[in-house]
Homo-oligomer: A and B are copies of this chain.
Amino acid sequence: MAAARPARARALLQQSVSARLQVRPPERGSEAQWVEVTNATALAGGLSCRLCLLCGSVKLEKKGQIQRGLVIYICFFKGADEDLVPKIVILTLILFLFAVDTLLNVKLSESENGEFVSVLDLPGDILIIPQATLGGKPKGRKMQYHSNIEKEKGLELYSQFVTLCEKELAANAKCMEAGVLVKHGTYGNRQVLKLDTNGPYTHLIEF
- A residues touching B (Cβ–Cβ < 8 Å)? 1-2, 6, 10, 12, 73, 102, 105-108, 116, 118, 129, 131, 133-134, 136-138, 141-143, 190-205
Residues of B contacting A133 in the complex (Cβ-Cβ under 8 angstroms): 201-203
Residues of B contacting A204 in the complex (Cβ-Cβ under 8 angstroms): 10, 12, 134, 136, 204
Q: How far is the CB of A189 from chain B (nearest CB, A)?
A: 9
Copies of the polypeptide in the assembly:
2
Q: Which residue of B lies closest to A190 (CB)?
A: B199
Contact across chains for B136 and A203 when beta carbons are under 8 A apart: yes
Q: How far is the CA of A191 from the CA of B141 in the complex (A)?
A: 29
Contact across chains for A193 and B203 when beta carbons are under 8 A apart: no
Contact across chains for B202 and A192 when beta carbons are under 8 A apart: no
Residues of B contacting A142 in the complex (Cβ-Cβ under 8 angstroms): 106-107, 116
